[in-house]
Homo-oligomer: A and B are copies of this chain.
Amino acid sequence: MGRGYGKAQIGTLVKRMRQGDVRALSRLISLLEQEGEEVSFLMETIAPYLGQAYSIGITGPPGAGKSTLVDKLTTHIRRLERTVGILAIDPTSPFSGGALLGDRIRMQQHYLDPGVFIRSMATKGDVGGLPRVAKDALKLLDAAGKDYVLIETVGVGQTELDIMETTDTTVVVFVPEGGDAIQTMKAGLMEIADIFVVNKADREGADRMVTEIQALVDMHHPHSWWRPPVLATQADRDIGVVELFTAIEDHRKALCKAGEFEARRQARRKKELIELVERHLRTLLLHHLQREGALGELVTRVERGEISPHRAADQILHDTQLIQHWFQEKV
């Protein structure tokens, strides 16, 4: 198994995690982040315990107050005596600023609460890796018995939106200043948003923004069984947070009633299978292209510009023997 974790150890860690051991959960998430070959066994081990947690994605531009919303939602859910897991995803984009650390500090009150587990993850500019690790971490929190899992991310790129697709309810947060954002809001966002929030609603332009988003929702209405509500909140003053949680619960009920809850989860599992096979094929490919021999020579000719990458790709993909050979070897 390598890197220090054998199957027996993973089994023990999962057992301890299931009994509420926070350190075991932390260690297993770290194991995910290493992206080693144990991940597959770990996911297999927790498979029987999945599907109980309800996952909520909170996304929006930097400075929209997402962390404060997550903080207040957590306080509310804890009052209902439910447990919470929080995954805070730092942005891939080098341009998306914001006082991330400052926001996180506000969450400190929850660090002492055993009913709340908080973990931050950085993207490291890795397109493929983060969504995979975040999705698997969501599953660990589910298997660990958390009633709700909140995923917070600056939705600046496809990577982050991809994570949002894995949550049961997705909340998209705006602030009145970001008026331009609404104008250029793409259909992609309308499709992932189950609930819209205009936070910092005491600021100028908030009412107009709510109206504008509502108009967009009316125009778009992607589902017959759910019309995304547009809520005004002031998270730092705890205004509108209970209403947001109620909207999340309403969405959950609507999902179940429409038969969408299970349909979405099925689509997600299939997507995950495709992603896993793709990642493996990619690893195989990179491994083999480093090789000596005919393939290495082809790569050198491409580098020198003697043959176009398109023609070389065609040659590689039509060499059935080569491909067959790849898969017979272990990487």
Contact = CB atoms under 8 A, between A and B. Distances in A.
Nearest to A319: B327
B43 A189 contact: no
Contacts of A186: 94, 125
A101 to B, nearest CB: 9
Interface in A268-283: 269-270, 272-274, 276-278, 280-282
Given A186-B125, A317-B277, A39 B305 contact: no
A161 B125 contact: yes
B311 A40 contact: yes
B312 A317 contact: no
Judged by DSSP, the binding face of A is helix
A285 B271 CA distance: 12
A158 B304 contact: no
A99 B280 contact: no
A197 to B, nearest CB: 14
Contacts of A93: 155-158
Contacts of A109: none
A256 interface: no
Interface in A129-186: 155-159, 161, 178-186
A316 interface: yes
A36 interface: no
A44 B328 contact: no
Interface in A23-63: 39-40, 43-44, 47, 50-51, 60-62
A277 B282 CA distance: 9
Contacts of A239: none
Contacts of A43: 308-310
A159 B158 contact: yes
Contact of A157 (B158, B181, B267, B272): B158
Given A100-B184, A285-B281, A265 B308 contact: no
13 contacts: A43-B309, A44-B308, A93-B155, A93-B158, A125-B188, A265-B305, A270-B309, A273-B289, A273-B302, A273-B313, A281-B282, A320-B328, A323-B323
Q: What are the nearest 9 A-B pairs in CB distance?
A: A157-B157, A97-B180, A94-B189, A276-B313, A272-B309, A266-B303, A273-B309, A97-B181, A94-B186
